């Protein structure tokens, strides 16, 4: 059976909503975008939200809003997607990489160790003093499994550092420090949380993102910057209640979301819990079938303190039990028309960061060891039990 890594299956209601918006004649940022922002903010318990054209845009504007400048330091995990660190480079600032914990998230112990070394002006992995000031920490919730936010918040508070959450994988996902505490949505633990609505994310607008925050001034600053620094967006200028006049009050960007994307997001928002339940069902079936194989390490679970979004189902190969490596394993599945992926090669091993900062192997041993045995299996809401079974049967055959 052919099983794709991901398959989008939109309901007719979503298609009708987009068609109706096309017929309305209003295609750019407008009332639907504002409605999406309000409903998303309410859904996750945040005071404000700003819809944008990507999570990358949200991360960039978040750093701009808190005042990152040339020469500053921003702490990011080495095990993350390109966007988490590249937005730091937009400012000619320096991304400071930190190794991962056993769940592929940033290690709180290594985070604290890194901050202390910088403050003491000691060399750290890949970098040497003199250092600029540390301006922010960007934890990334890998695959939808929350970071240890209680520890990260403690570290950030100790050093008076803002947290910008890369919550690209996490809607809906939640965290609590212990079973007696209430659940809180990922993306709401720091000053600003940044979400992705890319095609294969937990909900989609095709391309798109959202920033959430409780500080209205941060929201307003990011809003102005998202529209060329204009003091009024198109919806405020071209409706009967608006004014044609505007002024440029900042050097901004072009990061706004369109109503075409927002109407899809509004429809998807009503199905977010349904989609999560379906992905959780797929994850449970994988756990049941693959948990019997000595060659496979299952993704981490901690149902008492984490509500996993299951954006990724990320296994690790116990390579000492196999005669093949990770690349051969993925190719063997591909030969059987089972399509997998890899998330990710650590950023400090990427040519750009090796060439720019002199990073290389041996600096972050946990990430360097674990990425070589990581495989992301197909998981999506429309995935059938027969497709899950096909993946498991083929994996059983390959590892045996």
CATH label of the domain that carries residue 179: 3.40.640.10
Q: Answer with the one of 238, 254, 269 that is the final residue of a domain.
A: 269
Number of domains in the chain: 2
Question: Residues 201, 296: one domain?
Answer: no
Q: Answer with the one of 269, 287, 314 that is the final residue of a domain.
A: 269
Residue 4 belongs to some domain of the structure: no
Q: Tokens at residue 45, please? A: 């318990």
Question: Residues 50, 197: one domain?
Answer: yes
The residue ranges of DSSP E strands in the chain, in sequence order, are: 48-52, 73-77, 94-98, 134-137, 164-166, 174-175, 184-185, 192-196, 209-213, 296-297, 306-307, 313-317, 374-377
Q: State yes or no: cis peptide before 130, omega within 30 of 0.
A: yes
CB atoms within 10 A of CB 125: 18
Residue 120 belongs to some domain of the structure: yes
CA distance 29 to 260: 8
Phi and psi at residue 59, in whole multiples of 5°? -65, -45
Phi and psi at residue 306, in whole multiples of 5°? -135, 130
| SS3 label, residue 220 | helix
Q: For residue 386, give the DSSP letter.
A: H
Residue indicated by tokens 């550092």:
161
HSE-up (13 A, CA, CB side) for residue 103? 19
Residue 2 belongs to some domain of the structure: no
HSE-up (13 A, CA, CB side) for residue 7? 13
Question: Residues 341, 226: one domain?
Answer: no
Q: Answer with the one of 269, 304, 328 that is the final residue of a domain.
A: 269
**pTM for this prediction:** 0.96
Question: Residues 53, 164: one domain?
Answer: yes
From residue 328, give the alpha-carbon distance in Å to each of 226, 298, 343. Answer: 44, 19, 16
CA nearest neighbour of 265 among 351, 185, 167, 196: 196
CB atoms within 10 A of CB 246: 16
CB 364 within 8 A of CB 358: no
Question: Residue 341 is part of a domain; what is its CATH number?
Answer: 3.90.1150.10
Residue 217 belongs to some domain of the structure: yes
CA distance 234 to 227: 9
Q: Locate all alpha helices (DSSP H) within 8-129, ordered by sequence.
A: 12-24, 31-44, 55-65, 82-89, 108-119
**pLDDT on residue 244:** 73
**pLDDT on residue 246:** 84
Per DSSP bridges, beta strands 134-137 and 174-175 are unpaired
From residue 100, give the alpha-carbon distance in Å to each of 32, 63, 139, 365. Answer: 39, 22, 10, 9
Question: Residues 23, 121: one domain?
Answer: yes
75: left (phi over 0), alpha (psi -120 to 50) or beta: beta
- Say if residue 192 is exposed, middle or buried (CB neighbours under 10 Å; 0-12, 13-18, 19+): buried
Residue 3 belongs to some domain of the structure: no
CA distance 43 to 212: 11
Question: Residues 74, 151: one domain?
Answer: yes
Question: Residues 20, 167: one domain?
Answer: yes
Q: Tokens at residue 50, please? A: 């700003």
**Length of the chain, in residues:** 400
H or E stretch covering 296: strand 296-297
Question: Residues 184, 331: one domain?
Answer: no
CA distance 87 to 112: 22
Q: Tokens at residue 131, please? A: 């250092």
Residue 331 belongs to some domain of the structure: yes
CA distance 91 to 84: 13
Question: Residues 249, 278: one domain?
Answer: no
CB 208 within 8 A of CB 257: yes
Q: For residue 103, give the DSSP letter.
A: T
Question: Residues 300, 378: one domain?
Answer: yes
Question: Residues 227, 185: one domain?
Answer: yes
Domain interval for residue 57: 12-269
Question: Residues 313, 282: one domain?
Answer: yes
Q: ∠175-179-184 over CA atoms, to 5°?
A: 25
Residue 28 belongs to some domain of the structure: yes
Q: For residue 300, give the DSSP letter.
A: P
- Say if residue 291 is exposed, middle or buried (CB neighbours under 10 Å; 0-12, 13-18, 19+): exposed
CA distance 219 to 286: 41
Residue 6 belongs to some domain of the structure: no
Residues of the chain with pLDDT under 70: 233-242
């Amino acid at each position: 059976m052919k099983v794709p890594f991901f398959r989008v299956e939109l309901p007719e209601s979503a298609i009708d909503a987009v068609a109706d918006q096309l017929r309305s004649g209003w295609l750019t940022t407008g009332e639907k975008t504002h409605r999406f922002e309000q409903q998303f903010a309410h859904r996750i318990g945040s005071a404000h939200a700003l819809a944008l054209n990507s999570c990358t845009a949200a991360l960039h504007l978040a750093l701009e809003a808190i005042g990152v400048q040339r020469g500053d330091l921003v702490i990011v995990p080495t095990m993350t997607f390109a966007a988490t660190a590249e937005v730091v480079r937009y400012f000619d600032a320096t991304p400071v990489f930190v190794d991962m914990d056993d769940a592929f998230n940033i290690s709180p112990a290594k985070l604290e160790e890194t901050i202390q070394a910088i403050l003491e002006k000691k060399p750290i992995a890949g970098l040497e003093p003199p250092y600029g000031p540390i301006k922010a920490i960007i934890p990334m919730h890998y695959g939808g499994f929350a970071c240890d936010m209680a520890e990260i918040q403690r570290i950030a508070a100790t050093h008076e550092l803002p947290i910008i959450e890369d919550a690209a994988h996490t809607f809906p996902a939640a965290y609590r420090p212990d079973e007696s505490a209430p659940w809180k949505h990922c993306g709401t633990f720091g000053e600003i949380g940044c979400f992705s609505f890319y095609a294969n994310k937990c909900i989609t607008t095709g391309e798109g993102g959202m920033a959430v925050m409780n500080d209205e001034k941060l929201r307003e600053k990011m809003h102005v910057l998202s529209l060329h620094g204009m003091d009024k967006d198109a919806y405020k200028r071209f409706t009967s209640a608006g004014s044609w006049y505007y002024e440029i009050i900042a050097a901004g960007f072009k990061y706004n979301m369109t109503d075409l994307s927002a109407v899809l997001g509004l429809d998807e928002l009503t199905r977010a819990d349904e989609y999560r339940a379906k992905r959780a069902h797929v994850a449970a079936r994988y756990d049941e079938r693959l948990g019997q194989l000595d060659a496979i390490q299952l993704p981490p679970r901690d149902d008492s303190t984490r509500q996993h979004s299951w954006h990724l189902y990320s296994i690790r190969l116990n390579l000492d039990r196999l005669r093949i490596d990770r690349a051969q394993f993925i190719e063997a599945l591909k030969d059987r028309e089972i399509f997998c992926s890899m998330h990710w090669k650590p950023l400090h091993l990427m040519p750009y960061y090796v060439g720019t900062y002199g990073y290389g192997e041996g600096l972050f041993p946990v990430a360097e060891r674990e990425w070589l045995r990581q495989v992301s299996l197909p998981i999506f809401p429309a995935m059938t039990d027969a497709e899950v079974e096909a993946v498991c049967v083929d994996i059983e055959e390959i590892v045996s």
